[in-house]
Amino acid sequence: MTAAVSVSTEVEATAAEATAAEATAADVTAAEVTAKAAALELLLGDPEDDGNPYGFAAAARRDEREEFPTEYAAVLREAGFHLDYLPAEWGGGFESFDRSLQLVRTAARRDLNAMPATMFGITAATCLRLHGSPEQQARAAAVLRRGGAVGFALSEAAHGSDLLANAVRLAPDGDGYRLDGTKWMVGLGHRCEALYLVARTGERGPGAFSAVLIDTADLDRGEEVRTSGMRGIDFAHLAFDQLPVAQGDLVGRPGEALEVAVKAQQVVRVMSTAGSLGIADTALRLTLGFAAERRIGRTALLDTPYQRRELALASAALLAADAVALAAARGIHVVPEQFSVWGCAAKHVVAEAVDDVLDRCAGTLATRSVLRAEGPGGGLFQKLRRDADLVRVVDTSPLANLRSFSGQLPSLAGAIGDQQALRSAFALDAPLPPYNPSRLDLTARGRELVTGELKLTAEPAARELTAAGAPAVAAMVEQLLADIAGLPTTPQVGLQQVDLAERFAWLHAAAACLQLWWANRHLPLFGAEPAAPGWLGACLGYLLARADQASPRRAAGAAAEALELVLGLRADHRLFSALPVPLARPC
C-alpha cells in the first residue's frame, strides 16, 4: 500500500508541474490527430445540403436504390483515403490508429459504406503483414494502392463463429493443391482482385488450417448477397469445386492461418468502432436539429423534460463510446498483445452504446424515425439503424465476441499495469510507439493495462472528483475481480463467464474514461475547459449503470452535462468527440 501511495503522489506532482509550453505542444498534437479528417470535411462539403453528392440525402437515396457508392468512393480514393490503413512500406499513408479513427469516422458519418467501399482490405492486409512473403505483400499492396480490393474469406454458413468446425478444404494435388467448399459473406466478393482464404489442411485443432492468396479473375462468384445494412456493398458466397491452387499461393507456414486470422480481427474490431461512432454522430446531430425546431405548444421539443433526459443519456452514451474507442486506438500501439481482451471489450461497449443512442434518438424522432424518404437527412435514420446492426456483427457476433475473452477472465483477476505504458496510451499529447502487428497475441497472458493500475489513478482522482464516480469505478472493478476469482474451474465457457465478460467490458470502459480524464486534465476534451469533470461524470454514470444491468436513467442528472457539451459542439460545427474535428459548414 505504501508503494501505491508513493507512486500516486508522484503522478499527482508530475501532472501539477505541466507548463504552458506543454499545453501548447498538446494543442499541436491534437490538431495533428484531426488534421486529415478536417481536410476531408472541407473537401466533401456540407452533408446537410440535399444536393451534395457526398451528403446525407445522397446516402439515403443510394441506400434506397441499393447502389454501390461509386462517386463517393472515387473522391475518397482521389484524396488518398483508401491508403490510410496501409503502412508506408506498402505505399500507404498510415500514421496511427487515433488519426485513422477520426478520419474514418468523419467519412462514415456521411455514409458508412465509405468504409467497406475503400477499406475492406484491412483484414487481408493485416494477415499478409503477419505472415505473407515479400512477393505476396507486394502483390496485395499493388492492388490496394490503386484502390482495388483484396477479399478475406474465413466464415462458413454452416459453422458461424465456430471456426474450428470450418470445412472448406485445401488438399494436396501434385505440385499444388485443390480447393473445395464454400466461403460465406465475403466482403466485396464480386469486386476483389485477390482473395486471402483460410482452409482446412489438417483434421483437428487450430493448427489444422492454412491460408492461400489467390487471384479471383476466373472465380464463379454467383449472385450478390443482399443485406439490410450497408446496402449496395457486395457480399458474396464464394464456391470452389476442386479449384487448382499453386504451391506458391500458400501464405506462411501450413497450420498457422487460424491464429493469424484471429489476431487480424483484433485490429478490425478497433477500426469498426469508427463506423459505429460515425453513425451515432449523425443520428444524434440530426435528432438534435429536429428537436430544436419541433415545438410542443410554445416549447421546443428539446426543452421538454422527457426528451431532454433521453437526449442527455444519448449524449452520455456517445461521449463514453468516443472515449473508449479513442483509448483503444492509442492502446493498440502501446500494448497490442493485450487486444485479445481490450479490443473485444471496446468493440462490445461501443456497439452497444451506439445502439442505445439510436434507440433514444428514435424515441425523439418518433414517426420520422421509420420514414424512408422524409425527415432529417432525407430519411437517413432508417439507414443509420440498419448499418449499425450490420457493424455489430460484421466481424463476429456480440456473443462470440464476449466468449472470445471470457475464458481469460481468471488470469486477469491479479493483473497489474505499467505506469509508463499507461501514460503513453492515455495522454493524448504523449508520442505513440510505432504500431507493430507482430506483437498481437491470442491471449493477454494475465496483463491488463486499463484496470491493472486503476487504484493508482482512482485514489488521487477521487480527491478531485468527489461527485464523478471515481471511487465507484474502483469498488465495482474490485468486486468484479473477486467474482471472477470465484469462478469454478472448467474448460467450458458457461453463461456465468459470459455475463462476467460483459460486466468486465462496461467496467473496463469506465476505467478507460477515468484514465483518459486523469492523463489529460490540461486539455480541453469535448470542448470543455481543461480538467472539467462534467463529461467524465456523465460517462461514468452511464457506464456504471450498464455494468450494473440497471437503466442509465438512474444517471440522468450527471448526463445533463453531456448534452450541454454536445449542443456546444453542434453549434460550433465540430465532431462529437474528445478531439472534435472541425466540420464542413453550410455555404
DSSP string, 82-145: GGTTS-GGGT-----HHHHHHHHHHHHTT-TTHHHHHHTTHHHHHHHHHH--HHHHHHHHHHHH
Considering the domain delimited by 134-251, tell me its CATH architecture. Answer: Beta Barrel (2.40)
Q: Which one-letter DSSP state was computed for residue 197?
A: E
Please check whether residue 97 is in contact with residue 435, taking contact to mean a CB–CB distance below 8 angstroms: yes
Which helix (H) or strand (E) segment holds residue 241: the answer is: strand 235-245
Reference 283, options 380, 390, 348; nearest CA is 380
Helix, strand, or coil here: 187? strand
Please check whether residue 258 is in contact with residue 388, taking contact to mean a CB–CB distance below 8 angstroms: no
Q: Which three cell numbers stand for residue 481?
A: 475481480
Tell the burial category of 49 from Cβ atoms under 10 Å away from its Cβ (0-12, 13-18, 19+). middle
Instruction: Give 3-state DSSP helix, strand, coil % of the chain, rounded to 5.
Output: 60, 10, 30
The CA-atom distances, in angstroms, between 547 and each of 14, 214, 231, 504, 543 are 32, 45, 33, 8, 6
Q: Which three cell numbers stand for residue 86?
A: 496501409
CA dihedral defined by 273, 275, 276, 277, rounded to 10 degrees? 90
For 344-356, letters b (16+ CB in 10 Å) and e give bbbbbbbbbbbbb
Helix, strand, or coil here: 375? coil
> Where do the structural domains in the chain lie, given as residue ranges?
134-251
The CA-atom distances, in angstroms, between 343 and each of 138, 264, 332, 540 are 28, 11, 8, 20
Question: Among all chains, which residue has been given the C-alpha cell 419541433?
Answer: 294
Please check whether residue 444 is in contact with residue 468, taking contact to mean a CB–CB distance below 8 angstroms: no
Please check whether residue 361 is in contact with residue 355, taking contact to mean a CB–CB distance below 8 angstroms: no
As a residue count, the chain comes to 587
Residue pLDDT tens, the chain, 587 long: 233 323 233 333 333 333 333 344 445 466 788 999 999 999 999 999 999 999 999 999 999 999 999 999 999 999 999 999 999 999 999 999 999 999 999 999 999 999 999 999 999 999 999 999 999 999 999 999 999 999 999 999 999 889 999 999 999 999 999 999 999 999 999 999 999 999 999 999 999 999 999 999 888 887 889 999 999 999 999 999 999 999 999 999 999 999 999 999 999 999 999 999 999 999 999 999 999 999 999 999 999 999 999 999 999 999 999 999 999 999 999 999 999 999 999 999 999 999 999 999 999 999 999 998 888 999 999 999 999 999 999 888 999 999 999 999 998 877 777 889 999 999 999 999 999 999 999 999 999 999 987 877 877 887 777 556 788 898 999 999 889 888 877 666 788 999 999 999 999 999 999 999 999 999 999 999 999 999 999 999 999 999 999 999 999 999 999 999 999 999 999 999 999 999 999 87
For 102-138, letters b (16+ CB in 10 Å) and e give bbbbbbbbbbbbbbbbbbbbbbbbbbbbbbbeeebbe
Output the pLDDT for position 4.
Answer: 31
Reference 312, options 561, 572, 546; nearest CA is 561
Tell the burial category of 522 from Cβ atoms under 10 Å away from its Cβ (0-12, 13-18, 19+). middle
Please check whether residue 274 is in contact with residue 105, taking contact to mean a CB–CB distance below 8 angstroms: yes
Euclidean distance between CA atoms 439 and 333, whole angstroms: 10
The CA-CA-CA angle for residues 386, 538, 450, to 5°, reads 85
The CA-atom distances, in angstroms, between 493 and each of 62, 344, 409, 490, 499 are 43, 16, 11, 8, 10
Phi, psi for residue 10 in degrees, rounded to 5: -65, -40
Output the pLDDT for position 466.
Answer: 59
**Distant-in-sequence contacts of 431-438, Cβ < 8 A, 24+ apart:** 432/96, 432/98, 432/330, 432/333, 432/334, 433/333, 433/334, 434/333, 435/94, 435/96, 435/97, 435/332, 435/333, 435/336, 436/336, 437/126, 437/129, 437/130, 437/263, 437/264, 437/267, 437/336, 438/130
Helix, strand, or coil here: 79? coil
Who contacts 195 (Cβ-Cβ below 8 Å, separation ≥6)?
A: 124, 150, 151, 152, 153, 186, 213, 214, 215, 216, 219, 238
DSSP string, 27-64: HHHHHHHHHHHHHHHHHH--TT-TT-TTSHHHHHHHHH
Q: Which one-letter DSSP state was computed for residue 212?
A: E
The CA-atom distances, in angstroms, between 223 and each of 195, 305, 361, 449 are 18, 50, 36, 46
